Chains A and B, each alone.
Chain A
Amino acid sequence: EPEVTQTPSHQVTQMGQEVILRCVPISNHLYFYWYRQILGQKVEFLVSFYNNEISEKSEIFDDQFSVERPDGSNFTLKIRSTKLEDSAMYFCASRAPGGTYEQYFGPGTRLTVT
């Protein structure tokens, strides 16, 4: 069964450093999302991406964040200058076109900022 994959599974970085989190969505999906889950808290939406542009973003997704689909398969989230409060599990999700509506989530990348 096709699945969303994410790399790395765990990333440790120092405050102020740039990180890139990578995702490979399911191949025929056209809608892509990033969510994050701070330890012990609920899953929060960051950004959605469709047709090579951001379709919606939350207040969390400030100028320090960017997303890109550099080729036909990868979908990346970049944090330009990490802060301690960026430490969280980051989930990528994708959705097929049409009326199925469910989003399929990857296993997540745990980002630890020290």
Chain B
Amino acid sequence: AQSVTQLGSHVSVSEGALVLLRCNYSSSVPPYLFWYVQYPNQGLQLLLKYTTGATLVKGINGFEAEFKKSETSFHLTKPSAHMSDAAEYFCAVSDRSGNTPLVFGKGTRLSVIA
């Protein structure tokens, strides 16, 4: 069965600093990979996804993630944090049929300090 591990339940960065949120998956075959963001009292919004092709994918709000098969990772980064980035971030996977449900990590809460 697939699983997702997000290291660090809470990450705190200064405004303007690099954001790095870690995600590792466990799957015998590389899955499809997603990052979702959840702002307080809101639903889940897709930030970016990797299915095939270029392993560095760019998403909304200046975020990007790189799929590294050798490391079974899909870490999320942003060069310069903004106060509005404060939210909960979830990494999720599905198998390569795309028809299976998403399996989510436990989430990482990002705080941005002025």
Contacts and interface: CB of A to CB of B under 8 A. Distances in A.
A44 B107 CA distance: 12
A42 B104 contact: yes
Contacts, number: 56
Chain A, interface size category, equals: 20 to 34
B102 A42 contact: no
A45 B101 contact: yes
B46 A43 contact: no
B61 interface: no
Contact-size category for B: 20 to 34
B94 interface: yes
Contact of B44 (A48, A55, A91): A91
Contact of B34 (A33, A41, A91, A102): A102
Interface of A: 4, 31, 33, 35, 41-45, 48, 50, 55-56, 58, 91, 93, 95, 99, 101-108
Contacts of B101: 33, 35, 45, 48, 56, 58
Contacts of A4: 43
7 contacts: A42-B105, A43-B90, A43-B107, A56-B101, A58-B101, A91-B43, A101-B98
Contacts of A91: 43-44
Contacts of B45: 105
Contacts of B78: none
Nearest to B101: A45
